[in-house]
Amino acid sequence: MENKFVAIDLFCGIGGLTNGLQQAGIKVIAGIDNDASCKYAFETNNDSRFIEGDISKITGEYLNGLYPKDAIKILVGCAPCQTFSQHTLKNKNREKDERWGLLYHFLRLIKESSPDIISMENVPQLRKYSVFHDFVEGLKEEKYFVYYRLVDCQKYGIPQRRIRLVLLASKKKTLELVPETHEPKDYVPIKEVIRHLPSIKAGETYRKDPLHKSLKLSPVNKERIKHSKQGGSWLDWDDDLKLECHKRKGGATYKSVYGRMKWNQPAPTITTQFYSYGTGRFGHPTQNRAISLREGAILQTFSENYKFCPEGSEVFFSEIGRHIGNAVPVELGKIIGKSIKNYIGCN
């Protein structure tokens, strides 16, 4: 019975959700994404096929052709979330962003392929928009039992302060997430998962791991990070190191940049630019640099041997950073997978 449950991962990226589902024992037959640069990492680390494709042009008939005969179909996905995020609240034109409509295409594919189980993950802000409510109502019209809630990743042992919206739907009965596993006193601190990595300097790459690579810092940023405390920000600096925008009235509201992480706490939300010291609290707790690509991947709960690019190829911060920051944390994918298995009685 368990082998009949088969998933397709829409907007799969490099496979964070797929990897987690597979760890939970759910077969993922394929991942679909329009970003061909994700193919290597997805297929190298997962027992699944990467299909480069535009979701808006894919049909439910095509999806049904991928599922094995008599499969109990699972359709999962995390539509690109930047257009719904907190950072774009002031962008009046964001509804014209082509990514805005991808959730409607997700719903269209559900109606056309009629999967037995659905999972959708996105940013919390999505709940504020009609596109989400249309998605939920569309599922209910198709006779799905719909469940959704905000998930604090720390409460599931993920070493990151990441809040996500998780929706689960099924045709037979309500499918809920498994219970939380951690209380604040048990949250996993970053020292538990990255402290063992070799020390490197800003701009340096560890010779045995090309992903353990830190972005170079300018001379002034080297001085700035030296003056930054764990858990602190640019407010720790002498005035001659502060930016002009921070000195102006209202500058103090931007406290979440140029900061250091704290060893004894989970990391802040890993974004697509976590490798840059100036874009958030991404300074290493003790070393005078931003965290490395490998450290960011580990904080996203990718295994330490997860491969992001072919051996010997150049590692680009912008590309790999985008891949890692956009991913569903592997452990969250595993939680979703466990929830589905509990529902189907395969735990």
Write out the catalytic residue numbers.
81
The Cα 130–Cα 136 span in angstroms is 10
**Alpha carbon distance 246, 252 (integer Å):** 6
Q: Is 32 helix (H, G, I), strand (E, B) or coil?
A: strand
Number of CB atoms found within 10 A of residue 166's CB: 20
Q: Determine the residue type at 309.
A: C
> Between the CA of residue 104 and those of 9, 62, 111, what are the distances in Å?
16, 17, 11
- The Cα-based distances of 88 to 69, 92, 144, 160 in angstroms read 43, 9, 31, 22
How far is the C-alpha of 290 from the C-alpha of 269, rounded, in Å?
14
Q: Which residue has the tokens 């019975």?
A: 1
DSSP 139-171: HHHTT-EEEEEEEEGGGGT-SB--EEEEEEEES
Q: How far is it, in rounded angstroms, from Cα 156 to Cα 304? A: 19
